[in-house]
Structure 1
Amino acid sequence: MISSVHLDTTADTNTKNYKSLWRQSIKRVISNIRSEKQSGKFSERIKHFNTKSIVMRRVIEDISSENTTTQIPKSIIDPNSVIKGLWDMIIGIVMLYVSIVTPLSMAFIETNTFDVLFWVDIAIDAIFAFDVIFNLNTYFLDEEGNIVVKRKEIFLNYLKGWLIVDVFTCIPFEILQLFTGGYSATNKLARMTKLRVLPRLFRVARLLKMVKHVRSSSFVQQLQLLFSLSHRIMQVLTMFTGTIICIHVIACFWYFVAKMNDFNSDTWIARYKFEDKDPGYLYLCSVYWAITTLTSVGYGDIVPRTQEEKAVAMCWMVFSVYFLSFIVGSISLIISELTEKTKFRDSLLAKADSFADESGISKELRNKVTNYISRNSDSFSAKVTDKSDLIQYFNSDIKLELVQSIHDGAYAAFEIFNKQGKDFLMRIIPLLDTIEYPSRSVIYSVGEHSCEIYFLLKGKVHHKHENNVFRVDNPGSYFGDYEMFKRISREYTVTAVMNTYLWVMKESIVDIIIEEFPGVYKEMIQNSIFNFKKTKAALAEIMVLKRMKGKSATETRKSISEKYESMLKEGESLDGRIQFPSLRFESEIDNLIQMLKYDRRVMKAIMRNLTKLGC
């Protein structure tokens, strides 16, 4: 029950965090633009912008036309500057040191005046004091993204945040301790003064804040690329590091409460006769107690008895309830997202395997496609439903290799494909479906709806009229284009003579050609006219020869010619629907208008092109 409730809470928290990140990102963009405007860099960047976008051009003009900009004094620090980033890294390292060494020096390490730790603590106090000054001289962005450089407003904004804690942590307790009893091991008050280090532990939270702030820096990005760390892995590492630090701190506190009571008979050290054990063993026992309490195991072999021990144990148990629910909820969310990503990646790989089997690509290219999908699955849209959606995410190198590898470069056998550029080939060839037809199977029958063009890769097909074969096609030829372009039913039946492989160009692919390659579409129409005439001539010859057995060759040729002309007229030939002038078209729009007379689908392409032109 706790976990389910916490999952909802975690989701709400993540939503708020995303909103906060977006606000910060927008503020940073505005800040960078204004900073560059003052330095004169922004106007240079505008020159390199693609101003064809009307919206982008207006945005740039609006930003450029601002008459009032906030003047940043030289004494005010830019939070996005390199100096601020380096300083945050230094503070992060110092805070990491504080979170590890300070609890140890508080509990297990005996310190003396003017020893190494004394001077290190003085240096840390100085760094923290300088950090306060640094923050008081760093501008910030208000809720509207405006730069605030007035020191009074910076002070008030800092006061609402970490100012009090930061000031407290930079107080030199080491120097004050010299006037309050020194470092005597027998002075209980002196030991209590070691609680001065507690405020420094609050700065661990700033470490996480610092890490989140500098993750976008080039240094951190290079580290992530070097170790191939994803966002989720960074989250896991952050949670793991936070857990280790929390266990370390509470373990030191657990030993410290016994030390604070001079290890009397009621402390856990005395009760379990650990007085003579070395500090390493005692630290291990403290960590063991912290882990068993955190995980709610609680074997009972180390239990609290004194008031201080019970107080520490209760605080740790209360913290553990929240901590465990947070960890369980976060890990569950991460695992759920990773599972969804894994399922999505597996579905992409399954589509890629199906495409590879269908296309007969080489094993080397198949492995290359698989590796590409595995590495870049996060960039694929969840709307990938078929191979056409999948292929559009491949880079141009893979697409070109696919064209050359699919059925061993079978595209070259088709004149309509072989003379096209690589842009057309990369866009269209991988989209073609490969279908196998067994011997004597029907590819399509007379009267069927025509919505596909067939390209013969391997085998042989017969065109039949009234069960009579009048045309034979071999590899490198294609058919079915005329009926589909004219949007009429199939006029003949086509069957496979032997085991036959065909490329199938669906209507959706033709629509892509209409929109993106209108010149190729025009050529396909012209070829369909030629195929139509050749088919009619073959059919006329077969029909006349069958009817005029025993007639002279002259009469037969005349009858074939008359039958051919009659069939052209009766079939409402494509030539009658559209006339292509001999002169060369001067624009794609002219091509589209001419083709519109024949195919209404071209209107959609015209509208899309006009929209792109801003009409």
Structure 2
Amino acid sequence: TYPMWVDGLPQYKQEAPKTPPNIILHYVPFKTAWDWLILILTGYTAIMVPWNLTFRNVPGDDSTLYVLFTDSIVDVIFFVDIVLNFHTTFVGPKGEVISDAKIIRINYLKGWFIIDLLSCLPYDVFNAFKPESSQNQISQLFSFLKVVRLLRIGRVTRKIDQYFEYMAASLLLMILSFVLLAHFLACIWYYIGIFDLNNGIKHGWIPRLLLDFDVAKGSCNQQPNNITFIQQSIRSQTNLAYITALYYTLSLITSIGFGNVSATTFYEKLVSILFMLIGASVIRDCSESIRWRATFAGPLGPSEGRATPNTLTAVSPKHSNRGCNQSLKKCSMYATRSRYHDMMASVKDFVKTHSVPKDLAERVIDYVTSTWAITKGIDTAKVLNYCPKDMKADLCIHLNRMVFNEHSAFRLASDGCLRALAVNFNIIHTAPGDLIFHQGESIDQLCFVVSGTLEVIQDDEIVAIL
């Protein structure tokens, strides 16, 4: 049983930021499910755009109508996503939830709006209604503009870390990214083969593939001098051509080539050289990433906090880690992830060991998460202790500049007085609904509100808002 005085404690409830009627919180279940849908459709786009440009750009193909219908649905969903982004909150640089409609729209217009707009335009529909007089030029233009849809991958990768936190999931994501790269290169390899055929080159990898295929079947129907026959044959063997191209690119970028599919023409050799350079670079990055993940295994702290924090002294400084090289930057990144992982594991173990009630446990976890989002895991006091006394005072003056500039109590204070006060200031971050002082308590500190609001409650009524 709990003591009698526990019943008198105020019940903590997470306070959701108050938003206008047409604004959606970015962490509600609907928005989370919607982000997953956009993630899946972006993966579909990343696969189908290069496929359609290379393998399905054939007049009279029966699948053209199906692809057009599917892509139109995807375009509509992407357009709806643009509308939602104009009405979705985001987390500001200080960890606060931005719910002002004007600020949200300006931030989105300055950010990903142009890319999102270009990626959702129905290029296939435009291409279907092109004038016959300029059929080839406009068709090629719209086919090229489809590649713009791949720019959405850059936006999705910024949110991937929120869902793929642990090492196993990160490695799975790395493998999928590698396969996606091989898919892109396979489409390029097939396009090079078709390009050589259109230029009358008969000794490329596509004619040799068809010849080997006919020999394996025991037939000799191949007509090596007939370019039209080769083009028609490869169109009927699309799956074989794609699998062969994917097999070649995977064996090339992984340096496991067997030579049964090789480059013979000028453009095939040129592209193969580029593929090998890309493969070497990707394998190097993957090896370093795996090594650092194995050394500093742990989840990445979320970049967005849900609660709107109050800061009672001064905001924490922005941290800029300028490593000497890429390896040091990765080391610092994974070390930070490891610290966050250890901290959250300790908090969850504490909650589980002491059977903390669910509401209070959510309060603790939300507070730790939002605090980490603001401080980025930086111990300000530890950094200040590295500095000599005079430099420490200068830094404290800078950290608490908002207090000194905005409050009239310090207007006439001398520089020496401000320096002496600044080194004794502490930064306090509070969660929504927390009680700073109880009525009747002795006060041993003086607080200044820098960001957020503070309610003064007397007899269960709000008498002032600071």
TM-score (structure 1 length as normaliser): 0.38
Q: TM-score, normalised by structure 2?
A: 0.49
Comparing both chains, which one has the higher relative contact order based on Cα–Cα distances under 8 Å and sequence gaps of 6 or more?
2
Over alpha carbons, which structure has the higher Rg? 1
